[in-house]
């Protein structure tokens, strides 16, 4: 709150001509759940609309989208309709919309990514090429998502950007859709130390939780997704309002109001009744998604649990697992990572790391969540991309 007061003070203090307020949004994943869960598909459209309305209300002068605009590179029509409608609202108020692309926007099939339609329609500006783009007193440079295998090419582009920087005056913003390990170890391709230095604001995307830190004389920030996608994503979703008018960039994270609640619980069977009573007694703004694991030392009827919960929750997982039995465990084996071991064995058996990474990272999660539509789509995409992407060529997405 203090930061905002400071901003308005600066504005009143005669800095109005230099003020630059940016709306920073990322990972909207429009079209996720399409054809599978219409209600949840709508969640993502509503979150995007709420964010655009917020930006308009807050009178930002520029909106930057850091990628994963769409959930699928080959989207259904509604996702595109909502995207175009909302960006048109910005256009109507003279607010430029700059965007880069995430891995979800980029098809393995060499074709024009769907969000580029925004540029063709004069509604938005694609800034993922590494070329500087001037708007107001701000220079924005962006790159589209580079996969881990494209790391070398990404670093070369960083070096090129670094060489350009001394010739650029005014405020500078870098837009990337990459994970840095300082923010999130698991999905990271980079360290913060590898990023080009000297930007006032690093508008990051890819990580589905908000993260903000000072970096050099600038500020690096992930707003997180506008609506959570996976169970592990942060349930608190929002966008940044960034103020570039002072020496140091300020960013205020604003929570979006209409995010579906999610609950992930592990309950002992003896506490199940109490827990069910507790969670069904809460007044949720919308039907929460529920992942529930019941640890039991006796037979339990999954159907009876389901009956008690299905009115109030969208049950994503309901699993009964055996509770640990009495006794002592003498642990001497070194701990192994199940995921790592699974991958190691699979690579040993199949011999092709890319196929295994596809199976484990893309296919398995979709099959596990019963998302057959997208699982089929993924296989189809892999098959189509086979000669180009998987035969050793290092082509750009």
Q: Which DSSP symbol is given to 309?
A: H
Establish if 233 lies at the interface with Mn ion (CB under 5 A): no
Contact partners, residue 329, CB within 8 Å, separation at least 6 = none
Which residue's CB is nearer to Mn ion, number 27 or number 43? Answer: 27
CB of 20 to Mn ion, least distance (A): 26
Cβ 208 to Mn ion, closest distance in Å?
A: 6
| β-strand partners of 252 | 241
> With respect to Mn ion, which residue has the nearer C-beta, 27 or 72?
27
Distance separating alpha carbons of residues 380 and 213, to the nearest angstrom: 40
Choose between 236 and 394: whose C-beta lies nearer to Mn ion: 236
| HSE-up (13 A, CA, CB side) for residue 96 | 17
Which of 68, 72, 105, 243: binder of Mn ion (CB under 5 A)? 68
Give min distance, CB of 68 to Mn ion, in A: 4
Q: How far apart are CA 96 and CA 238, in angstroms?
A: 20
Nearest-CB residue for Mn ion: 68
Instruction: Count the Cβ atoms, other than its own, within 10 Å of residue 337.
Output: 9
Nearer Cβ to Mn ion (68/86): 68
Residues 4 and 59: their CA atoms lie apart, in Å, by 13
Q: Using CA atoms, how far apart are residues 187 and 177, in angstroms rounded to an integer?
A: 12
Binding residues with Mn ion: total (CB under 5 A):
2
CB closer to Mn ion out of 27 and 200: 27
Q: Which is nearer to Mn ion, 30 or 95 (CB)?
A: 30
200 binds Mn ion, rule: CB under 5 A: no
Q: Which of 19, 23, 27, 179 binds Mn ion (CB under 5 A)?
A: 27
- Choices 62-70, 144-152, 252-260, 278-286; region in contact with Mn ion by CB under 5 A: 62-70
| 13-39 burial: b if 16+ Cβ within 10 Å, else e | eeeeeebbbbbbbbbbbbbbbbeeeee
Window of 37-45, 66-74, 136-144, 187-195 that interacts with Mn ion by CB under 5 A: 66-74
The span of 19-27, 294-302, 325-333, 338-346 binding Mn ion (CB under 5 A) equals 19-27
Task: Say if CB 220 and CB 190 are below 8 A apart.
Answer: no
| Residue 27 or 86 with smaller CB distance to Mn ion | 27
Instruction: Please choose, out of 23-31, 128-136, 210-218, 285-293, the segment that lies near Mn ion by the rule CB under 5 A.
Output: 23-31
Between the alpha carbon of residue 172 and those of residues 139, 142, 364, 388, the distances in Å are: 5, 11, 41, 36
Map the footprint of Mn ion across residues 125-154, applying CB under 5 A. Answer: none
Closest distance to Mn ion from the beta carbon of 369 (Å):
16
User: Is the separation of the CB atoms in 256 and 227 below 8 Å?
Assistant: yes
* By the rule CB under 5 A, 105 interacts with Mn ion: no
Of 15-23, 30-38, 67-75, 134-142, the window that binds Mn ion (rule: CB under 5 A) is 67-75
Q: Which is nearer to Mn ion, 73 or 218 (CB)?
A: 73
Of all helices (H) and strands (E), which one includes residue 266?
Answer: strand 262-268
* Strand ranges for 4-130 from DSSP E: 21-25, 62-65, 97-99, 125-126
User: Which residues lie near Mn ion (CB under 5 A)?
Assistant: 27, 68
């Amino acid at each position: 709150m203090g930061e905002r007061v400071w901003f308005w003070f600066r504005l009143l203090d005669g800095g109005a001509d230099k003020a630059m307020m940016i709306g920073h949004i990322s990972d909207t994943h429009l079209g996720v759940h399409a054809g599978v869960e219409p209600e949840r598909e709508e969640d993502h459209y509503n979150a995007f609309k709420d964010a655009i309305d917020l930006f308009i209300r807050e009178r930002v002068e520029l909106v930057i989208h850091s990628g994963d605009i769409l959930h699928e590179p080959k989207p259904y029509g509604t996702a595109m309709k909502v995207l175009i409608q909302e960006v048109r609202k910005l256009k109507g108020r003279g607010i430029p919309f700059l965007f880069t692309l995430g891995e979800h926007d980029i098809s393995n099939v060499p074709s024009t990514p769907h969000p580029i339609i925004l540029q063709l329609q004069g509604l938005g500006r694609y800034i993922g090429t590494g070329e500087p783009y001037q708007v107001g007193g701000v220079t924005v440079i962006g790159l589209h998502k580079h996969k881990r295998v494209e790391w070398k090419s990404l670093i070369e582009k960083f070096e090129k950007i670094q060489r350009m920087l001394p010739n650029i005056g005014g405020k500078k913003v870098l837009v990337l859709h990459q994970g840095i390990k300082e923010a999130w170890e698991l999905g990271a391709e980079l360290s913060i130390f590898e990023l080009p230095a000297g930007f006032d604001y690093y508008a990051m995307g890819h990580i589905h939780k908000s993260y903000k830190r000072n970096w050099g004389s600038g500020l690096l920030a992930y707003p997180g997704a506008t609506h959570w996608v996976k169970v592990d994503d942060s349930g608190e979703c929002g966008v940044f309002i960034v103020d570039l008018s002072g020496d140091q960039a300020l960013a205020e994270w604003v929570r979006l109001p209409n995010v579906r609640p999610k609950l992930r619980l592990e309950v002992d069977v003896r506490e199940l009744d109490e827990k069910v009573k507790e969670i069904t007694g809460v007044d949720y703004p919308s039907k929460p998604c529920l992942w529930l694991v019941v640890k039991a030392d006796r037979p339990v009827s999954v159907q009876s649990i389901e009956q008690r919960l299905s009115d109030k929750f969208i049950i994503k997982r309901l699993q009964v697992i055996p509770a640990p039995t009495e006794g002592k465990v003498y642990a001497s084996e070194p701990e192994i990572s199940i995921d790592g071991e699974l991958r190691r064995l699979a690579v040993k058996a199949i011999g092709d790391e890319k196929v295994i990474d596809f199976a484990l990272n893309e296919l398995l999660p979709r099959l596990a969540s019963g998302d057959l539509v997208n699982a089929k789509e993924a296989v189809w995409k892999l098959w189509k991309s086979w000669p180009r992407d998987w035969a050793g060529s290092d082509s750009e997405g």
